[in-house]
Structure 1
Amino acid sequence: MLKDFVKQDYQTGDELKNRIKEERAHLAALQMKIKEAGLPVMVIFEGWNAAGKGALIGKVIRNIDPRFFKVATMDRQPSEEEKRYPFLYRYIKEIPEAGKFRFYDTCWMNEIVNDIIDGKLNEEEYQKKVHSINVIERQLVDNGYLVLKFFCHISQKEQKKRLENLESSKDTKWRVDKEDLKQNKNYEACLDVFERYLDDTNESRTPWYIIDATDKKIAELEVLQFLNQGIDIALTNQKMNVPILQNTFPMEKITKLSEISLKDKTLTDEEYDKELDRLQKELRDLGNKVYRKKIPVIIAYEGWDAAGKGGNIKRITEALDPRDYVVEPIASPEPHEKARHYLWRFWTRLPKTGHITIFDRTWYGRVMVERLEGFCSENDWRRAYNEINEFEKELVDFGAVIVKFWVQIDKDTQLERFTDRQNTPEKQWKITDEDWRNRDKWDLYETAIDEMIAKTSTTFAPWYVLESVDKKYARIKALKIVIEQIKKRL
């Protein structure tokens, strides 16, 4: 890609100035269309050190209302704190809201190629990270993002000249460090690494645009042309359905909810108290080991309203050091969350290594409530099964333990608990009109849940059903499963 790069032949002088002026005006006009259409735009600049990435960003953003963009500088290596999260975590935190731009002065490419050049990344890790990048870039585009990737290319001779010019002035000398000089000295070796990465991540939905950065005006024109063209096409194609990818993950055998027996799934108070004490002590010890060995744990709860999720969660948290866990109650997305990829609000709530996050409702809302209440399109929720599996695989590959619970009761038990809540003053806060409306759609929800479990119960993150007509039975079962899964990981 870089080795075969052929410079474009542009006229200079007034003709070049006029073309840049036209493209600037076009971009200025497009920003309101982006806002009205709710199109989030990610513009990633990569390239050689001293190629002028920062200056290019500065020229482009002059044509955009400052309220509609932010610039993220990601050229540093991850901090020790950031290394305690999945590789993509710090980048996904920075994705833009709908209707806004986010410009990246380097992004995930920079971290990977630097690690390869420094010998910190082996072949298996490289392949894994490249796969993660291709997956997240595809997911972003499928969920309505425009992702544009520019590589600013200059020759070894040009890079050396620019570095020498910077070093010649005391005001700019500080901008040249040993990494810049090392890159220029090892230009051919770096070129091979760049070339491979660009080839491995040059996907049809997110292609690379190689920018001739030797001449700054030509570079600006090329970026503006590709940016405007990309926005025009994205606005035209915004309402088009995205292909539904076939699941390629190994799945667990599942049972429909209606076929799960709830009979005889009970415990006496004596059995419950004895088991609860024993299992909580065991989980407390495992929690300390998880912290010491820096293993992240994710426990995800879904279930029928009034099934007993809250009490179940409480019996797990009672056993844990309060400094090492957090419970995330998931409600309807806030405006800033709704304006981003639907998984963004879960990416940003992930536990760091050694910590435990318990989700009271999860990303599966996409294929349940959002599906049934029409909060997303059919294409969106059908596509989500595979996207969720990819998300969970990313977390498991990072080293996380994922335990997913569906808390199961029957309609009669739910009615009994709803009625009790409604008639008991201190419990009335637990029952809402929405709970009754959801109950009316029980059969529709059951169909959606069966499909959800069938399509997302992977071998690496299977679903566990907690029979909760007797809440005590469900609590003990949950504790046993969490303990078993942590032990397996240890």
Structure 2
Amino acid sequence: MRMGDEKKYKKNLETCQSQLARLSRELREKGIPVVILFEGMGTSGKGDRIQELIQPLDPRGFSVLTVKKPGKEERKYPWLRRYFMSIPPKGQIHIFNDSWYSQVVRRLAVKKPDDGFAKEKWKKINLFEQQLADDGTVILKFFLELSMDEQRHRLSFLKKNKDTAWLVSEKEKDQQRHFKRWKAGYDRMMKETDTPWAPWMVIDADQLSQAGIQVLTAVKDRLAEAVSKTNTGEELQLEKTENRLAHVDLSKTMEKDVYKKKYDEMKACMRSMQNRLYMEKIPLILVFEGWDASGKGGTIKRLTAPMDPRGYEVIPISAPAGDEKTHHYLWRFWKHMPKRGHVAVFDRSWYGRVLVERVEGFARPQEWMRAYDEINELEAMLQDEGAIILKFWLHIDKDEQERRFKERMENPEKQWKITDEDWRNREKWPDYEAAASDMFAKTSTKQIPWHVIPANSKYYARIKVMETILQSVEERLKG
């Protein structure tokens, strides 16, 4: 770079950085999360571009993350989990030096590329980024395009100096040896994942005098657009659905002695089931929803009692708090997804978005209406990776709920279970009933249906739930 060009570059850089500093403060005030990711060949200048980008930013407002090859423990979890856990909270900027794309491109650059693996991952990545964008996250994706000759020149320069030779990794050596394979992998990446909500921006990384300005200008323009945008929300209409709960036969019951006998028989079956799931490395996800006092906790206690506590986790879900409130609403659930061979039991779940958050107004209409598709996508992703997902709604009538509420109030050992909120929720029974009906209509799929359990009889409900679990797992193991 000539002296005059260098001065001009520095001046333009400082102008962009000054504007970025102001925009980052506005983003923080408005609570807008930002994802900026860089992909490209080794020595394409990702580190330099990131350094120029963060220089004007408040260190409290950004994080730089490098996505490395997943370790042994990480590979036991759903593929998307570690990436969802890395997303920024509201008002923060996360900058990725390599990202969720790196592992997929690496698989395409080998001698015999795994095309099936790539197709599956492109689909998941597009859905992942769309969910973030729909929730208000600004996504900028940069590909730093480097020619084969320029990479060879830069690698040679690094190798000659003993202080920089260590920077040349085996990955970069492989990229130079098999440049065409790697380039084909990156080209495929951009073709499959260039979307309206997260388009790729290609930067000519051979031209050092222009690359930095191009990146900073693109970031500046996109952030300026984000802070000036007013989100009014689109008008969405929900079709009226049938009240599925009106047809549930709540007269089904079971005597205590029959229940005890059946439960004792099922204990060994539950232990055996857990062992077989572990041996086959199949994760099991159990979701429990239902009315207050419908018996969710008691059912969960009985079904997990025979199981090895090292292989399951019960996750009680209440109102989001702390970091949970500043992240995408699914973030707090991804961290509890089970690893292969383990069991996760959710006492309430992500369905709160379309139940309590809808009824109480904690989510805007466009947010909870969008959640039906997002939840279906989440569950389909988990099932595609081998998980068994069973969803239970424990149903009781209003009279039975009142009886149980009063019983709790009269029993000192159970008074902690009843709150003023339970009574307030009871007053909104028709609203919750309508929300549940819409939930069944929108999220009870052929692959992952809802199991509505008559629960006026606690004994009947517990046995029915365990029978359903054992039958479903057996079908999968035989399948």
- The interval holding the TM-score normalised by the smaller chain is over 0.9
Aligned-partner Cα distance in 1 for 2:237–2:243: 24
**Superposition pairs for residues 31-430 of structure 1, below 5 Å?**
31-74=24-67, 76-118=68-110, 122-241=114-233, 256-263=244-251, 265-430=252-417
Structure 2 SS opposite 1:64: coil
Please list the CA deviations of residues 361-406 of structure 1 after superposition, one character each: whole Å capped at 9, or x if unmatched. Answer: 0000000111111111100000000000000000000100001000
Aligned partners of 2:357 and 2:46: how far apart in 1? 40
Task: Give me the whole-angstrom Cα distance separating, in 2, the residues matched to 1:469 and 1:392.
Answer: 29
Distance 1:180 1:343, change over 3 A: same
CA distance in 1, matches of 2:369, 2:416: 34
Alpha-carbon offset, residue 214 of structure 1: 2.2
Distance 1:254 1:390 in 2: 23
8 Å CA contact retained: 1:245, 1:386: no
> Hey, what's the Cα distance between the residues in 2 that align with 1:309 and 1:440?
20
Contact 1:245/1:383 (<8 A) preserved? no
Give how far 1:283 is off: 1.5
| Separation in 1, partners of 2:211, 2:463 | 64
| Cα drift, residue 293 of structure 1 | 1.0
* 1:12 counterpart residue number: 5
Mapped partners of 1:321, 1:56: distance in 2: 50
Contact 2:108–2:181 (8 Å) recurs in 1: no
Q: Residue 425 of structure 1 aligns to a residue in which SS?
A: coil
After superposition, give the CA deviation of every residue in 1:431-483 in whole Å (9 maximum; x if it has no partner).
Answer: 11110110000000000000001100011211001111010100000001111
C-alpha deviation, 1:133, in angstroms: 0.3
Aligned residue type for 2:246: S
How many angstroms apart in 1 are the aligned matches of 2:242 and 2:389? 18
| Alpha-carbon distance between aligned partners in 1 of 2:205 and 2:237, rounded to the nearest angstrom | 37
The 8 Å contact of residues 23 and 227 in structure 2, kept in 1 or not, is answered as: no
Which 10-residue stretch deviates more, 109-118 or 215-224?
Answer: 215-224
Identity of aligned residues (%): 41
Q: Per-residue deviation at 1:128?
A: 1.0
Q: For structure 1, which segment, 407-416 or 271-280, has the greater mean C-alpha deviation from structure 2 after superposition?
A: 271-280
Contact 1:144/1:238 (<8 A) preserved: no
Q: Distance in 1 between matches of 2:33 and 2:27?
A: 7
Change (3 A) 1:53 1:244: farther
Tell me the CA shift for residue 124 of structure 1: 2.3
In structure 2, distance between residues paired with 1:281 and 1:120: 46
Asked if the contact 2:109/2:184 (under 8 Å) is kept, the reply is no
Q: Distance in 1 between matches of 2:232 and 2:476?
A: 42
Q: Aligned partners of 2:327, 2:383: CA distance in 1, in Å?
A: 23
C-alpha distance in structure 1 between counterparts of 2:400 and 2:271, whole Å: 32
Q: Distance in 2 between matches of 1:102 and 1:391?
A: 23
CA RMSD after TM alignment = 1.8
Question: What amino acid sits opposite 1:267 in the alignment?
Answer: M
Secondary structure of the 2:5 match is: coil
* Alpha-carbon distance between aligned partners in 1 of 2:256 and 2:111, rounded to the nearest angstrom: 59
1:86 and 1:255 map into 2 onto residues whose CA distance is: 34
Deviation (angstroms), 1:273: 1.0
Aligned mates of 1:243, 1:423 — CA distance in 2: 47
For residues 400-479 of structure 1, what are the structure 2 equivalents within 5 Å?
A: 400-479=387-466
- Structure 2 CA distance, aligned partners of 1:141 and 1:270? 55
Q: Whole-Å Cα distance in 2 between the matches of residues 185 and 355 of structure 1?
A: 42
Q: Once the two structures are superposed, what CA deviation does each residue of 1:340-369 show, in whole Å capped at 9, x if it has no partner? A: 110000011100001000000000000011
Secondary structure class of the residue paired with 1:12: helix
What TM-score comes out, normalization by structure 1 length? 0.93
Alignment length, in residue pairs? Answer: 473
Structure 1 CA distance for aligned equivalents of residues 65 and 362 of structure 2: 30
Q: SS of the residue aligned with 1:113?
A: helix
Q: CA deviation at 1:121?
A: 5.5
Task: Work out the CA distance in 1 between the residues paired with 2:328 and 2:99.
Answer: 18
Following the alignment from structure 1 to structure 2, what is the Cα–Cα distance between the partners of residues 311 and 59?
57
Q: Is the 8 A contact 1:299 1:358 kept in 2?
A: yes
| 2:443 is equivalent to residue 488 of structure 1 | no
1:255 and 1:296 map into 2 onto residues whose CA distance is: 32
Q: Which whole-Å deviations, capped at 9, do the CAs of 1:73-101 have from their partners, x for residues lacking one?
A: 11x21111111111111111110110000
Q: What per-residue deviation string (whole Å, max 9, x for no partner) do you get for residues 90-120 of structure 1?
A: 1111101100000101101111010121257
Residue 353 to residue 268, structure 1, CA distance change in 2 (3 Å): same
Residue 434 of structure 2: SS of its match in structure 1? helix
The answer for unaligned runs of 5 or more in structure 1 is 1-10, 248-252
Contact map agreement 1:244 1:383 (CA 8 A) in 2: no
TM-score w.r.t. the length of structure 2 is 0.96
1:217 positional shift: 4.2
Gaps of 5+ in 2: none
